[in-house]
């Protein structure tokens, strides 16, 4: 049987030398020819499988430059109960799900997705409230951002957490004036401390869970995804998934930094399917829980009070400049790319200050240092980043889901309006990507493009303060430039001869519809190295 596939019709290449083509030939999992129909047909064998695209369009497979597949696979599985605002819209629904979950799982229950800013009427629960709801059932509730965890006394006892438990580096246990736990922890160290038993139980199922989750990414056209919370302890599960044929997308791994932690592998490792390319670091936390470092204050509103933000607060950072310097010196001289989570404008300054010095001490022509999310990053800061050769991955869905919250409840129009300013990043000369950040918002590349172009929220409100990007720029941010951020642009991201045939077939040419209609285009088929991994029909 021939391994060749001949696509005929609208081919959007994301290759500046030939933006569009009439045909594309796949041979042996790679792109063998792309161009005019007649010239490509001449290179195909007589038994090549022909796909007539018709009104459909062929594009490079989408690239999720900032994902968490090995964690998301567990979080969205039977091991946790999903209460995210994309699933449960109201506080009433959330509370009903929590009470039902406690009754159904008396041995212990974990919920994921609490978001009082979108699920209006929820206020951060106290330890006393959680104990009243649950009795002796251990209960853990993850905030939708992943940066806060709520827990009851039974969960603390099960995990061995007391008022004397030290704060993990970059994280902390909230305590009251008497020094007692309040039932709230900030950042990944506290989350991992409370989820140890759940994650251990899920480890056995992780190969199948990961395979299932990657299949959901294929369904929206994603063929490459980074894992920004990679842990080498997951390697056996990853290897098992690969052996079983369950890796239906390319993985680019970023190991999490930590105190006295060194990378588990050398910078040159892996292959085209799985490769560790960087190290994940943090500067601050989440705008939705009040711990991002800002030059301007949070507003004093019912919403900010519901999430525990003190009036006039300028937020906070998770790491000092000295701690950031230590992380950089541990990894950067060895050749690792660093990807730093940062939202607040003062935290952005801190990261750029931190990176400028080692770039002088350890010059590297192609470091691709990454800033992740960059909600409050200003045009001047993007220009400084460009001068240092820094790139940015933008969580543009903040505009879609939380746009009104940013302006009306948290920061006002001056600072909330230009949030996630992709236009300013591009004008400064940065290469950028868009992402959905695992469970934070559903993987939705086409919606990301639309939101970046229109700056329109879920309710249809246009956010003033930043201009939109063009469709060309939006597509590059989901394909070639995202691949570039993962050091994979030589393999994927555009439809060029020699690259892998990682492809997505859309139900329509995105250039023929209005920007706000992009999310309505269907993913018809997805291919990984020429093998169909998703299709609407067989």
> pLDDT means per 10 residues in the chain (538 residues)?
88 98 98 98 96 98 98 96 96 97 97 96 94 96 94 96 93 95 94 91 95 98 97 95 96 89 91 97 95 97 94 94 93 96 98 94 94 98 98 98 98 98 98 96 97 98 97 98 98 98 98 98 98 84
d(Cα 387, Cα 305) in Å, to the nearest integer?
39
Query: Can you tell me the distance from the alpha carbon of 294 to that of 277, in angstroms, rounded to the nearest whole number?
Result: 30
Give the pLDDT score at 537: 63
Residue 72 tokens read as 């998301």
Of the candidates 521, 483, 489, 529, the one whose C-alpha atom is nearest the C-alpha of residue 505 is 521
Q: Which domains does the chain have, with CATH numbers?
A: 1-60+493-538 (2.30.40.10), 78-201 (3.10.310.70), 280-492 (3.20.20.140)
> Are the CB atoms for 463 and 479 separated by under 8 Å?
no
Own/partner pairs, 101-109, CB within 8 angstroms, 24+ separation: 102/133, 102/134, 102/137, 102/139, 105/137, 106/137, 107/137, 107/138, 108/137, 108/138, 108/139, 108/154, 108/155, 108/158, 108/197, 108/198, 109/81, 109/137, 109/138, 109/139, 109/140
Give the separation between CA 14 and CA 434, rounded to whole angstroms: 16
Q: How far apart are CA 209 and CA 75, in angstroms?
A: 10
Place of tokens 């460009």: 386
Residue 170, number of CB atoms within 10 A of its CB: 24
How much of the chain is helix, strand and coil, in % rounded to 5?
35, 25, 40
Q: How many CA atoms lie within 13 A of 27 on its CB side?
A: 15
Length of the chain, in residues? 538
Residue 424: left if φ>0, alpha if ψ -120 to 50, beta else—which one? alpha
- Whether 249 and 217 have beta carbons less than 8 Å apart is answered as yes
Contact 493, 512 (CB under 8 A): no
CB 281 within 8 A of CB 386: no
Determine the pLDDT at residue 251.
98
Phi, psi (deg, nearest 5) at residue 534: -155, 140
> 174 near 184, Cβ under 8 Å?
yes
Count of C-beta atoms within a 10 Å radius of residue 399: 30
Residue 426: strand, helix, or coil: helix
Phi and psi, residue 153, nearest 5°: -65, -40
**Distance of alpha carbon 410 from alpha carbon 116, whole angstroms:** 13
Strand partners, 33: 25
Integer Cα distance of 215 and 248 in angstroms: 7
| Of 157, 189, 159, 158, the residue nearest 173 (C-alpha) | 189
Instruction: Pinpoint the alpha helices (H) of 177-221.
Output: 188-203, 206-218
Tokens of 258: 């930590």
CA 87/CA 401 separation, integer angstroms:
13
Non-local CB neighbours of 365 within 8 Å, separated by 6+ positions: none
* Residue that the structure tokens 């129909």 belong to: 37
pLDDT at 1: 47
Model-wide pTM > 0.75: yes
């Amino acid at each position: 049987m021939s391994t060749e596939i001949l696509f005929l019709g609208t081919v959007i290449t994301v290759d500046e030398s030939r933006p569009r083509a009439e045909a594309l030939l796949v041979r042996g999992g790679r792109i063998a020819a792309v161009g005019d129909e007649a010239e490509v047909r001449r290179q195909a064998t007589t038994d090549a499988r022909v796909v007539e695209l018709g009104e459909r369009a062929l594009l490079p497979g989408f690239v999720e430059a900032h994902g968490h597949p090995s964690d998301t696979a567990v979080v969205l599985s039977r091991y946790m109960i999903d209460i995210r605002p994309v699933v449960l819209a109201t506080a009433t629904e959330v509370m009903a799900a929590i009470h039902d979950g406690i009754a159904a799982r008396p041995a212990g229950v974990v919920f994921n997705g609490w978001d009082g800013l979108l699920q209006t009427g929820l206020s951060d629960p106290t330890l006393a409230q959680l104990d009243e709801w649950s009795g002796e059932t251990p209960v853990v509730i993850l905030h939708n951002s992943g940066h806060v965890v709520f827990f009851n006394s039974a969960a603390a006892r099960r995990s061995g957490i007391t008022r004397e438990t030290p704060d993990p580096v970059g994280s902390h246990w909230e305590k009251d004036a008497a020094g007692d736990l309040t039932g709230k922890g900030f950042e990944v160290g506290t989350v991992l401390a409370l989820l140890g038993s759940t994650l251990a139980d899920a480890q056995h199922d992780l190969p199948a869970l990961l395979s299932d989750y990657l299949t959901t990414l294929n369904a929206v056209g994603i063929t490459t995804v980074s894992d920004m919370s990679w842990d080498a302890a997951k390697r056996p599960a990853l290897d098992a998934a690969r052996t079983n044929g369950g890796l239906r997308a390319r993985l680019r791994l970023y190991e999490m930094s930590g105190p006295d932690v060194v990378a588990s592998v050398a910078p040159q490792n892996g292959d085209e399917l799985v490769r560790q390319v960087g190290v994940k670091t943090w500067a601050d936390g989440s705008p939705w829980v009040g711990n991002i470092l800002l030059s301007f204050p949070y507003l004093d509103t019912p919403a900010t009070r519901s999430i525990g933000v003190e009036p006039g607060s300028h937020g906070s950072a998770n790491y000092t400049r000295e701690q950031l310097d230590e992380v950089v010196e541990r990894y950067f001289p060895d050749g690792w790319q660093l990807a730093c989570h940062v939202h607040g404008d003062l935290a952005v300054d801190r990261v750029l200050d931190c990176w400028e010095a080692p770039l002088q001490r350890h010059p590297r022509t192609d470091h691709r240092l990454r800033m992740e999310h960059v909600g409050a990053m200003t045009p001047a800061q993007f220009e400084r980043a460009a001068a240092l050769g820094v790139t940015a991955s933008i969580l543009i869905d903040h505009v879609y889901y939380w746009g009104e919250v940013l302006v009306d409840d948290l920061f006002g129009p001056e600072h909330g309006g230009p949030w996630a300013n992709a236009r300013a990043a591009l004008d400064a000369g940065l290469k950028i990507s868009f992402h959905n950040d695992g469970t934070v918002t559903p993987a939705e590349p086409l919606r990301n493009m639309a939101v970046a172009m229109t700056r329109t929220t879920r309710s249809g409100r246009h956010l003033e303060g930043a201009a939109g990007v063009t469709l060309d720029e939006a597509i590059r941010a989901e394909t070639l430039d995202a691949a570039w951020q993962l050091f994979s642009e030589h393999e994927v991201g555009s439809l060029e001869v020699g690259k892998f045939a990682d492809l997505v077939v859309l139900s329509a040419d995105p250039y023929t519809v209005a920007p706000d209609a992009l999310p309505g285009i269907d993913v018809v088929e997805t291919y990984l190295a020429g093998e169909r991994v998703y299709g609407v029909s067989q």
